[in-house]
């Protein structure tokens, strides 16, 4: 809960909130399907944390899944950057990971997304791998993925980042 910032973090619920989350994913990712590490993932099937402002509006969302001893952040986005929503969502998912018995969280981002790389690295995540051509392959499953991203950088690769949560 983040009362001093005007929003709170909580598990996503159904009904109208689910509809708002689906619309948020449509605006953010072009729909409820994201493609990462050669897999099409339906965000509607995953648990979600949402950041909700005092007016009940969605300020951000994070979807995840647990596999073996790790928690994968499949999607994270804020309606507005720079206000702490992403940090609060990431902190909340670390608590989820601990509760699930996970020892680390991990995620992928694209090679063009320098803003996200700065954000994740400032929060302790480390780059642990590069999958060359992963986004080129992803376009075969989701042709709407752009070929050029932030600052005119061609999008080709996925970067994998991890955070050990033991002692974090």
The residue ranges of every structural domain in the chain are 3-164
The pLDDT value recorded for residue 107 is 98
pLDDT band with cut points at 50, 70 and 90 for residue 168: low
Task: Kindly report the pTM of this predicted structure.
Answer: 0.90
Per CATH, which fold does 3-164 belong to? Aminopeptidase (3.40.630)
The pLDDT value recorded for residue 80 is 83
Assess whether pLDDT exceeds 60 at residue 1.
Answer: no
Q: Mention every residue, 6+ apart, whose C-beta is less than 8 A from residue 103.
A: 69, 70, 164, 165, 166
């Amino acid at each position: 809960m983040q009362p001093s910032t005007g929003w709170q973090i909580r598990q996503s619920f159904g009904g109208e909130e689910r509809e708002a989350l689906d619309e948020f994913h449509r605006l953010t990712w072009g729909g409820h399907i994201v493609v990462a590490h050669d897999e099409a993932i339906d965000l509607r099937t995953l648990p979600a944390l949402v950041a909700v402002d005092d007016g009940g509006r969605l300020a951000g969302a994070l979807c995840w899944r647990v596999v073996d001893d790790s928690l994968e952040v499949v999607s994270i986005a804020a309606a507005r950057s720079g206000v702490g929503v992403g940090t609060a969502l990431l902190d909340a998912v670390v608590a989820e990971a601990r509760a699930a018995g996970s020892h680390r969280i991990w995620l992928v981002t694209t090679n063009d997304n320098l803003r996200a790389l700065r954000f994740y690295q400032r929060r302790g995540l480390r780059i642990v791998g590069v999958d060359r051509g992963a986004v080129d392959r992803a376009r075969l499953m989701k042709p709407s993925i752009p070929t050029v991203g932030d600052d005119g950088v061609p999008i080709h690769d996925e970067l994998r980042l991890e955070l050990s949560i033991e002692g974090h």
